[in-house]
Amino acid sequence: MTVKSPLSEVTSANLKDVYGLNDEDLQKIRDLRPLMEGQMESFISRFYEWLGQRPEFDEYFADARQLERIQGLQSDYWMNFFAARVDDAYVERLRALGRTHAHIGLSLEAYMSGVSMFMTMFAECIRDPGNNVKDPGEAVSLITKLLHLDTVVVVSTFTERTQHVINEQNKSLMQLSTPVSMLWDDILMLPIVGIVDSKRAQEIMDAMLMKIAETNARVMILDISGVSVIDTAVANHFIKMTKAATLMGCRCIISGISPIIAQTIVSLGIDLAEIHTRSTLKDALAFAFAETGHKAVSAS
């Protein structure tokens, strides 16, 4: 499942409206570009002096060639910012930046602190009387609005991308936690380890039924020797799994019934009369062979 951020489908026109930026405002930001372009090398130099004292520097910027390339990209970003052409291509560049930050693993805290550092330098430059900015207060307010727009798009895309990666990892872990294997012709096995809750029980059932449908297996062995806790809810999950498998023409056997699990089931009064159980996987496999008409032949 892909989780989309609230801004993933928002257009540039929507964003300008939300942040109160009209064409006149954007032109005033563009008017600042010559001043900022003349100071950009100084801004970036100051930024990396500050960044050099942070732990992120050695991790991401220690390589001199990589650092030079990133500085060039950063200069391009800010020049694009002060060009203030807020169209859909502008927004897509911001989303690309968010995806890049998520890909390299740079934290949002590092990104936000960097943005704050640049905003401080821009405000100092604008308010410097020697730079003759007509209305410094308004200029700072306008670039703050645009920077908020930029930041929200970058952060929302970062979050979307990060959540996508987490979902893919969870999907992979789910597949690893439900490894349905073909043991023999017509015989499947699924070892279950850990805690079984309602969500995981549904995932196990889904994986089990899909494999049964794929292979037309006649017997499924569920080995629960690694299950941490057996209670009424867990037992009911297993009952549902066996009934679902039966509806698909597959006999389900539960193996790994230890003495402790057996006592727990008895004390809870759980009726497992409809379920085929075996204490060991060896016994379950022997039962499965008998069910399918296979014979085990000794290698000797």
What is the structure's pLDDT at 59? 65
CA–CA separation, 121 and 79 (whole Å): 15
What is the structure's pLDDT at 108? 77
Per-residue pLDDT of the chain (300 residues; tens, 9 = 90+): 344 445 556 788 889 988 999 999 999 999 999 999 999 999 998 988 887 777 766 666 667 787 788 888 888 899 999 999 999 899 998 888 888 777 677 777 778 888 899 999 999 999 999 999 999 999 999 999 999 999 999 888 888 887 877 766 556 555 545 677 777 888 998 888 877 777 788 888 888 899 999 999 999 998 888 887 777 788 888 888 888 999 999 999 988 887 877 787 787 777 666 678 888 888 888 888 888 887 655 544
User: What DSSP line would sit under 222-291, residue for residue?
Assistant: EEEEEES---HHHHHHHHHHHHHHHHTT-EEEEE---HHHHHHHHHHT---TTSEE-SSHHHHHHHHHHH
What is the structure's pLDDT at 174? 52
CA–CA separation, 136 and 141 (whole Å): 9
Q: 285 burial class (0-12, 13-18, 19+ CB within 10 angstroms)?
A: buried
**Tokens for 219?**
């017997």
**Tokens for 187?**
């015989």
Are β-strands 181-184 and 276-277 bridged in parallel, bridged antiparallel, or unpaired?
unpaired
Quickly count: other Cβ atoms within 10 Å of residue 169's Cβ.
10
Q: Which of 152, 145, 150 is nearest to 21 (CA)?
A: 145
The reply to whether the predicted model has a pTM over 0.75 is: no
Domains of the chain with CATH codes: 12-175 (1.10.490.10), 181-292 (3.30.750.24)
Quote the strand ranges of the chain, DSSP E. Answer: 181-184, 187-194, 219-227, 251-255, 276-277
What is the structure's pLDDT at 1? 39
Q: Which of 64, 231, 42 is nearest to 50 (CA)?
A: 42
What is the structure's pLDDT at 172? 52
To which residue do tokens 């993933």 refer?
8
From the CA atom positions of the chain, what is the Rg in Å? 31
What is the structure's pLDDT at 205? 87
What is the structure's pLDDT at 5? 46
What is the structure's pLDDT at 8? 53
What is the structure's pLDDT at 276? 83
